[in-house]
Amino acid sequence: MTSSRPPWEHAAGSPAAAGPVRIDAVVARRWTAAEDIVGLELHAVDGSSLSGYEPGAHIPVEVAPGVIRHYSLCDGSGGALRIAVLLDPNSRGGSAAVHRSLWPGTVVRIGQPRNDFPLVADVEHTILVAGGIGITPLIAMARALHEQQASFELHYCVRTLSRAAFLTELRTESYRESVYVHLDDGPPNQRFDPPRVLARPRPGVQLYFCGPTGLLDALCATAADLGWPKGQISLERFRGAPPVSGHEFSVQAQLSGQTVSVTENQTIVAALARAGIDVPVSCEEGVCGTCLLKVIDGIPDHRDCFQSDEEHRQNRWITPCCSRSKSPRLVLEV
């Protein structure tokens, strides 16, 4: 018997609950979305519906044993989830495993959707700017805004036509007049011009940026120069945390009672491992949330991309693969 209830509907809402992959899914369809980009459609093995996500959400996928990566959802209609994955030439096992191993019939474990990049409701106009594979969450947003009959525009920046995913949909769907594709190797008059697109800061307009770090830094700088308030800018980066270096501090492992020193260029995970305390890790960049530990005492120096700004302010959890400490000592539940 199939169920219309998503398997994550009653899941706990803490950051730690979002990390584990506990849902068995099968790759029902695989297609070439663009050069070096594959699309995957995932169905629940038990026949339950995988619907119920919000545009901007992502899911953890165990792409190989012990290797968990997070991918933005580009669609969730018909009880299935769809993602698109770019083959990173510097892949440390994630995207390469997807391209090599995930074919129709392959069973993978996934986790519940998490949305740190949600659409803001009740705005007058929305400007979406995607760079490369950053189109994945933004095409879901464009589709949702169109269904809501909301005013929006989508700017898709890509190096060349062969690397533009979802191009057929963007050019044929009923919202195509709100879509602008900008090619780096195309005519000068169609290239993306941030000062022109962002020229009129005004209340009631929300900006969404998603893509590589260079593009996002340029967009944020332009928006700041033009006077856009930070509260009207939402962005999602695809790269992980900054380097782990910083001053030395100590970590007390509450459950074992051990205290370890974390040196200037050492991660908390590595320091704990030297003391025989293993912490599960996956991405080691502060992106996936696999290593989250509860903070009992002390002030973390958050350097992850997994938790939201509000979760950082609460200081309840830390990603020990990349984050450090602002206080001389941290007490962690491990």
Using one digit for the tens of pLDDT, what is the confidence trace for 31-64?
999 999 999 999 999 999 997 788 999 888 988 8
The dihedral region occupied by 98, where left means phi > 0, alpha psi between -120 and 50, and beta the remainder, is alpha
What is the spatial distance between Cα 180 and Cα 154, in angstroms, rounded to a whole number? 6
Question: For 262, phi and psi rounded to 5 degrees?
Answer: -110, 115
Backbone torsions φ then ψ of 37, nearest 5 degrees: -125, 125
Contacts of 153 (CB under 8 A, 6+ apart): 125, 126, 127, 128, 178, 179, 180
Instruction: Name which of 298, 286, 282, 279 is nearest 116 in CA terms.
Output: 286
Give CA torsion, residues 301, 303, 306, 311, to 10 deg. Answer: 30
Domain borders along the chain are 15-110, 125-237, 249-332
Q: For 249-332, CATH number?
A: 3.10.20.30
The DSSP bridge pattern shows strands 205-211 and 249-253 to be unpaired
Q: pLDDT digits over 83-141, tens only? A: 999 998 776 668 899 999 999 999 999 988 888 889 998 999 999 999 999 999 999 99
Higher-confidence position of 27 and 169: 27
pLDDT of residue 242: 59
Domains 15-110 and 249-332 share a fold: no
The pLDDT of residue 240 is 52
- pLDDT value for 246: 86
Q: What is the CATH number of domain 15-110?
A: 2.40.30.10
Tell which wins on pLDDT, 52 or 183.
Answer: 183
Note the pLDDT tens digit of each residue in 286-321: 877 788 999 999 999 999 877 888 899 999 999 999
Q: pLDDT by residue (tens digit) across 251-290?
A: 999 998 999 999 998 999 989 998 999 888 767 778 777 8
Architecture of domain 125-237: 3-Layer(aba) Sandwich (3.40)
